[in-house]
Amino acid sequence: MRFDVVTLFPAMFAAITEQGITRRAYELGLWSLRTCNPRDFTSDAHRTVDDRPYGGGPGMVMMAEPLALAVETLRRDGGGAQVIALAPGGNPLTDATVRQYAERGASLALVCGRYEGIDQRFLDSCVDEVLSVGDFVMSGGELAAMALIDAVVRQLPGALKDESVDDESFATGLLDGPHYTRPEVWREQSVPQVLLSGHHRDIEAWRRREALQATLSNRPDLLRQARAEGRLTARDESDLRELAQMGAAASRSAA
């Protein structure tokens, strides 16, 4: 799968080509990366890519023309089947979107903003979708673009060696439950007995219940969605009722 990134800071992307799972997948040829610096598409001596905002106000805005020339160039080179800009105000990036990109495998161009953002006319005319990686503001779109690339790459067949993407958070509609490894007792805290029992069915049932508990506590909105999609069994529903009652009783006794 091909990614083209339009960025003022191409060196940042060594973090994903030179480290971890994304590096291995990169070296296996599962994905490729081209960076395109908007400064290479300027015509003045200072290679200016930003200017003051019309209407006044603080900060600078990225100009449309260098970005448009960058996107046109990478498209001529066969990239950018879909052009995505990163911005805090974009649609939230979700597991479902990530999986769609990985399944389609089409080339993606990612446009990283800096300063106060990007001239709206470029977004309106050259960008297919604007995505946000969360309700917070970073200094630039590079980390957001890398988050998207990392999440998509780990979904590509062959990217993971001995892990599965099918039982991770969101894939089942629930959050992942807790994990434990050696030693069996760490600072007086023991691993739950069931995990030492060797009874696979009991372990699976325990993991499912823990996933339900984590989702109920931290993301009840996901439970509503899982229910609407028919992804909860009768057993899940009865576990959830019990967990909710236990939670209510615990908060009553704490009060």
Binding residues for ligand SAM (CB under 6 A): 86-89, 112-114, 116-118, 132-134, 136-141, 144
Quote the least distance from Cβ 104 to ligand SAM, whole Å. 21
Quote the least distance from Cβ 165 to ligand SAM, whole Å. 23
Q: What is the 3-state secondary structure (H, E, C) of the chain?
A: CEEEEECCCHHHHHHHHCCHHHHHHHHCCCCEEEEECHHHHCCCCCCCCEECCCCCCCCCEECHHHHHHHHHHHHHCCCCCEEEEEEEEEEECCHHHHHHHHHHCCCEEEEECCCCCECHHHHHHHCCEEEECCCCCCCCCHHHHHHHHHHHHCCCCCCCCCCCCCCCCCCCCCCCCCCCCCCCEECCEECCHHHHCCCHHHHHHHHHHHHHHHHHHHCHHHHHHHHHCCCCCHHHHHHHHHHHHHHHHHHHHHC
**Which CB, 118 or 223, lies closer to ligand SAM?**
118
**Which CB, 139 or 225, lies closer to ligand SAM?**
139
- Count Cβ atoms below 10 Å from residue 215 Cβ, excluding itself: 24
**Which CB, 62 or 211, lies closer to ligand SAM?**
62
**Which CB, 118 or 126, lies closer to ligand SAM?**
118
Quote the least distance from Cβ 138 to ligand SAM, whole Å. 4
| Residue with token string 């495998």 | 105
Q: Which residue is nearest to ligand SAM (CB)?
A: 113
Cα angle 222, 251, 240 (rounded to 5 degrees) comes to 35
**Which CB, 123 or 156, lies closer to ligand SAM?**
123
**Which CB, 138 or 244, lies closer to ligand SAM?**
138
Quote the least distance from Cβ 3 to ligand SAM, whole Å. 16
Quote the least distance from Cβ 150 to ligand SAM, whole Å. 14
Quote the least distance from Cβ 134 to ligand SAM, whole Å. 5
Quote the least distance from Cβ 122 to ligand SAM, whole Å. 11
**Which CB, 135 or 166, lies closer to ligand SAM?**
135
